[in-house]
Amino acid sequence: MTTQPIKLDIMSDPICPWCFIGKAHLDKALSAHPNHPFSIEWHPFQLNPDMPANGMGRREYLEGKFGGKEAAVRAYAPVVESAKTAGIAIDFEGMKRTPNTINAHRLIHWAGIEGRQTAAVSALFKAYFTDARDIGDADVLIYIAKSVEMDANVVKRLLDSDEDLKLIQDRDKHSRKMGINSVPTFIIANQHAVPGAQPPELWAQVIADLAAQADAAQ
């Protein structure tokens, strides 16, 4: 495929299980079509924008959102099944805290400046869902930054400041003003919104359609 890059904007939150699953599906499709035209950028959308800065205990969060653990287990059952289908591991039992993700989104933004954004997103998903780590904790975020070859000292200094905090909050609000109310949401070429954790087959079809359009335009 010889096409110009096509922007794929992804609204996501690193504590959103459907975002993790959706990325796994997209990754599978992109791996099968290495000449895909997408240029990917990740955008902030907090599932819990009013979460206390230090997060809260996972049990307290589940009781507040679902009315208790049993209701949460029922609610998450489709997530567990979809994760298995996607070939990813989620350790719900191991999770002790539900974090505020504003600093995780700041890290994603800084990673984007360095061309490491998707790597940072992948590392955040793994840390939270697979390793059951608190990605609201600054030390965890610094570790993640270092793992994707960012300068840990610079990230620590930025996290200790309010650098880009308002920018991320404003970008989150902008997405909501656009009418986005759930994640993941994928926007293709600034025109077509694709909501939800779509299967690899859908992305394969999108890639094929884009290739056909490019060939027809030549």
Give me the mean pLDDT over the 133-139 stretch.
Answer: 98
Please return the burial class of 92, using the count of CB atoms within 10 Å of its CB with bins 0-12, 13-18 and 19+: middle
* DSSP per-residue codes, 185-213: EEEETTTEEEES---HHHHHHHHHHHHHH
- Confidence (pTM): 0.96
Enter the DSSP assignment of 34: T
Which helix (H) or strand (E) element contains residue 41?
strand 38-44
d(CA 179, CA 63): 28
In the prediction, which pLDDT does 2 show?
Answer: 46
The 10s digit of each residue's pLDDT in 72-102 is 889 999 999 999 999 999 999 999 999 999 9
Give me the mean pLDDT over the 97-114 stretch.
Answer: 98
Sorted by where each starts, the structural domains of the chain and their CATH numbers stand as 6-217 (3.40.30.10)
The 10s digit of each residue's pLDDT in 167-191 is 999 999 999 999 999 999 999 999 9
Dihedral sign (CA 96, 101, 103, 104): positive
Let me know: does 22 contact 106? Beta carbons within 8 Å. no
